[in-house]
Amino acid sequence: MTARVNEVPSGRGAAWLAEAFGLFRREPLTWVGLCTGWLVLYFLLVRVPYVGPVVGNLLQPVFFGSFAIAAWKQSAGERVTIGDLFGGFRRNVRALVNIGFVSMLAQLAALFLMRALGLPTWPENQEFDLVAYVDMLQPYVWVLAAGFTLLTLASGALWFAPQLIVFHGLSTSHAIRWSVYAALSNFGAMMVYGALLVLALMFAWVPLGLGLVVMIPVMVISTYTGYRDVFERPAGG
């Protein structure tokens, strides 16, 4: 199957979050349940020594494919169920896992970049002290910014890939190419969306992180509403 990219105004980045909230508001308990299940499974996996963190990260695009399918079902008037958490496992799961592998390579590249630029690590013979480590990192804020920038660019490049795989049946390489093209073609909307999402997640931490009960589901749904705007809306619509 082929894909077509719409170039949308920058302001549509805010609309992706607004439309995601609209979907969440119609079935809040189900979406909270889906996100809770996803996070519980992830944290259980990362507790498994050695292989758990790797498997957990490889499966992230599979779950985001599941969220996209669930949001599409809801947009089509169907009910979302907890079983939809595993919808991505029935849609070209190998290609989705490959996206997870590419994402892990980007994370390792960011880590190697920061180490190469001189980012210090905590001495192995000392008990870890978070406050002291933060103080140690203060002269290296620019190094952290470089690593964060690389991760942000990689995330933006891969942002639409899981949705392209589950809805268009694209291979990993084709999904990445279309995702990069879509992100570059809609750079303004992506910037607005990303900035608002970061701000919303920051505010959601106050107080006690209670706002994350809403913002995490809105975030995962917005990966579909953004995809829908860029790939599914009629041109000029």
pLDDT in tens, 96-141: 999 999 999 999 999 999 999 998 888 888 888 888 888 888 888 9
CB contact burial 216-226 (16+ within 10 A = b; e otherwise): bbbbbbbbbbb
Please, are residues 100 and 61 in contact by the beta-carbon 8 Å criterion? Answer: yes
Helices 51-58, 93-116: axis angle to 10 degrees equals: 120
Is a pLDDT exceeding 80 seen at residue 234? no
User: Confidence class of residue 155 from pLDDT cuts 50, 70 and 90?
Assistant: very high
Please, are residues 235 and 6 in contact by the beta-carbon 8 Å criterion? Answer: yes
What is the rounded CA–CA span in Å between residue 96 and residue 87? 12
What is the rounded CA–CA span in Å between residue 180 and residue 190? 12
- For residue 237, what pLDDT is reported? 52
What is the rounded CA–CA span in Å between residue 169 and residue 132? 49
Residue type, 189: A
Is a pLDDT exceeding 80 seen at residue 174? yes
User: Confidence class of residue 1 from pLDDT cuts 50, 70 and 90?
Assistant: low
Is a pLDDT exceeding 70 seen at residue 236? no
Please, are residues 103 and 125 in contact by the beta-carbon 8 Å criterion? Answer: no
Residues 6+ apart with CB under 8 A from 78: none
Regarding pTM above 0.85, the answer is: yes
Residue with the larger pLDDT of the pair 91 and 173: 173
User: Confidence class of residue 233 from pLDDT cuts 50, 70 and 90?
Assistant: confident
Q: Give the best-scoring range by mean pLDDT among 77-81, 202-206, 232-236.
A: 77-81
Task: Compute the mean pLDDT over every residue in the chain, rounded to the nearest whole number.
Answer: 92
- For residue 164, what pLDDT is reported? 96
CB contact burial 27-36 (16+ within 10 A = b; e otherwise): beebbebbbe
Is a pLDDT exceeding 90 seen at residue 88? yes
Helices 12-26, 187-204: axis angle to 10 degrees equals: 50
218's enclosing H/E stretch is: helix 212-227
Token pair for residue 74? Answer: 């809801």
